[in-house]
């Protein structure tokens, strides 16, 4: 049998539970209350492998990245990036960068941070390395361009310049300004 004292204790506990729930619930008019946004934020991939196709629909290039994420402005951003042309294209260049971006309405791959392009069959048939902090690649036309400082090593020769336009398929480079070089005999 329940004593009157037990009924009073149970009633006090129930009143305390209701009061604590009421005080702890978020106020609908409170701007600090967390809100849940149900809009679609896009996708993300870990250990991503993205294949780019040419005008004929065949494989043109491949991008491997630690992470790929769709952004709100119709672009995909990548981190820890490696880009290679397909063997069919006969472009022997591989490009690494900290990050990259591809806009859905542009046909360029924009690489940022510690960009390094390497080829064992590069310019003049020598091992070639291009380093810069920013590089835009037009994969369909095999062009790489920057207006930033660039360092180019062709075999034992080394050049620095501000800006560059390189044809990766033809192994030709045009330096834009402030060209300095070091040529070993």
pLDDT at 52 over 90: no
Q: How far apart are CA 130 and CA 151, in angstroms?
A: 6
Residue 1: predicted pLDDT: 66
Secondary structure class of 23 (helix, strand, coil): helix
What band does 30 get if pLDDT is binned at 50, 70 and 90? low
> In sequence order, what E strands does the chain have?
44-53, 59-70, 75-85, 94-103, 109-119, 128-138, 143-154, 157-167, 172-182
Count CB neighbours of 78 within 10 A.
26
Mean pLDDT score, 71-82:
88
- For the record, the structure tokens of 88 come out as 């069919």
- For the record, the structure tokens of 115 come out as 């960009």
What band does 15 get if pLDDT is binned at 50, 70 and 90? confident
Mean pLDDT score, 52-78:
88
pLDDT at 147 over 80: yes
pLDDT at 35 over 80: no
- Identify the residue with better confidence: 142 or 38: 142
Residue 50: predicted pLDDT: 87
Across the chain, mean pLDDT equals 84
Secondary structure class of 27 (helix, strand, coil): coil
pLDDT at 70 over 80: yes
Alpha carbon 166 to its chain's center: 22
What band does 150 get if pLDDT is binned at 50, 70 and 90? very high
Domains and CATH numbers, the chain: 44-182 (2.60.450.10)
Least-confidence region, from 42-46, 74-78, 116-120: 42-46
């Amino acid at each position: 049998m329940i004593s009157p004292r037990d009924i009073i204790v149970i009633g006090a506990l129930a009143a305390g539970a209701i009061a604590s729930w009421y005080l702890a619930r978020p106020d609908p008019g409170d701007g600090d209350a967390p809100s849940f946004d149900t809009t679609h934020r896009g996708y993300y991939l870990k250990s991503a492998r993205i294949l780019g196709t040419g005008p004929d629909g065949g494989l043109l290039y491949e991008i491997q990245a630690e992470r790929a994420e769709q952004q709100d402005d119709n672009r995909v951003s990548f981190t820890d990036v490696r880009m290679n042309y397909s063997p069919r294209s006969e472009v022997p260049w591989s490009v690494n960068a900290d990050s990259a971006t591809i806009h859905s309405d542009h046909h360029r791959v924009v690489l940022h941070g510690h960009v390094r392009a390497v080829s064992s069959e590069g310019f003049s048939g020598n091992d070639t390395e291009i380093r810069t902090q920013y590089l835009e690649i037009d994969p369909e036309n095999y062009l790489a361009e920057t207006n930033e400082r660039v360092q180019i090593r062709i075999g034992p020769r080394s050049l620095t310049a501000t800006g560059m336009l390189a044809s990766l398929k033809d192994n030709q480079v045009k330096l834009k300004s402030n060209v300095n070089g070091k040529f070993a005999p």
